[in-house]
Structure 1
Amino acid sequence: MMGVLVLAVVVLAPTIAQLAEQRQHIAELQASVSAQESEVQRLRDERERWNDETFITTQARERLTYVMPGEVSYLVIDDRSEAARADATTEVSADVTETKGDWMSTILSSVMTAGLAPAAGGAG
């Protein structure tokens, strides 16, 4: 009985390994087909967008800088230095910050200073 079991394992082991390998290959092919189907759908959507006249006009304006007859196009050239451009590209913090000091007293002191200041130009 033990010999038959060993013989069955020896005979079936390569077949089971082939079955597992084939299933893995089928899964890879199904994933590939799914990716290709999504790509086909993306291309169909893009083709539909290109059938829209508004989309074509927008693309011509953005990509080719075309304008409609009678319109004037302005090209703005960034003449800032490299350092100024680098400063402009730094990320802005989204953290909430608190002001240092009491804004109400600051406004009051500003109003009092402006109200008590001598008139500009004076009498003369």
Structure 2
Amino acid sequence: MPDETGRSGRAPRRPDGSDGSGGAGWLSGIRFSGFSLIMMGVLVLAVVVLAPTIAAFAQQRQQIAELRAAVSAQEEEVQRLRDERERWNDDTFIVTQARERLYYVMPGEVSYLVIDDRTAAAKTDTTAGVSAEVTESKGDWMQTLLDSVLTAGLAPDAAPAVDPASTTPPAAPAAEENR
């Protein structure tokens, strides 16, 4: 139905037969001028030129972050070493370390070194909990003492005793006697 100007309410048809509402029709409606082509070329050129620069920038930022983390770790290590150096300036710390590490004792003291001679299975079998109650063992301590004394007394000697008076010097070789 035409309006007062004589036009109908429909959009005019294009020469290709489409009314412009199709999906492919919008692409044909774009006009490329010289300026738009130059701007697209500049945009493509900027992407090509700046892409490696941006990648290098991101890589350098990552390296900077890693180096800062390494520097902070080294600063913590330096602080730990300074604290340890300060501890070694304390005489009490030095005496404690000499006692623990080197088993030194002060003059007049007696040092006892306890050797744990349990088997590996006995060392790892620590599942028995500690009780707050006093418990009494039902073992015969006299028999245990007697067994221990007999075991120690009947054990073979580690090395046979050598009497220094009974030893004689080795005989001289026969070749030296003929001289």
- Shorter-chain TM-score bucket reads 0.5 to 0.7
How many residue pairs end up in the alignment?
Answer: 91
CA gap of 1:19–1:60, structure 2 versus 1, over 3 A, is same
| CA deviation after TM superposition for structure 1 residue 63, in Å | 0.4
Runs of 4 or more consecutive aligned structure 1 residues displaced over 6 Å after TM superposition: none
DSSP 3-state at the match of 2:104? coil
Question: Which structure carries more relative contact order (alpha carbon 8 Å, separation 6+)?
Answer: 1
DSSP 3-state at the match of 1:8? helix
Measure, in 2, the Cα distance between the counterparts of 1:45 and 1:53. 15
Asked whether 1:52 is paired with 2:90, we answer yes
Match of 1:6 in 2: 44
Asked whether 1:42 is paired with 2:91, we answer no
Percent identity of the aligned residues?
Answer: 81
Kindly indicate which of the two structures has a greater share of residues assigned to helix.
1
TM-score of the two chains, using structure 1 as the length reference: 0.68
CA RMSD across the alignment: 1.6
TM-score of the two chains, using structure 2 as the length reference: 0.48
1:46-85 equivalent positions in 2, closer than 5 A: 46-85=84-123
Q: Which runs of 5+ in 2 are unaligned?
A: 1-38, 130-179
Measure, in 2, the Cα distance between the counterparts of 1:91 and 1:41. 42
- After superposition, give the CA deviation of every residue in 1:50-107 in whole Å (9 maximum; x if it has no partner): 000010000000001111111111111223233221213x586xxxxxxxxxxxxxxx
Aligned residue among 60, 69, 92 for 1:22? 60
Bigger Rg over Cα? 2
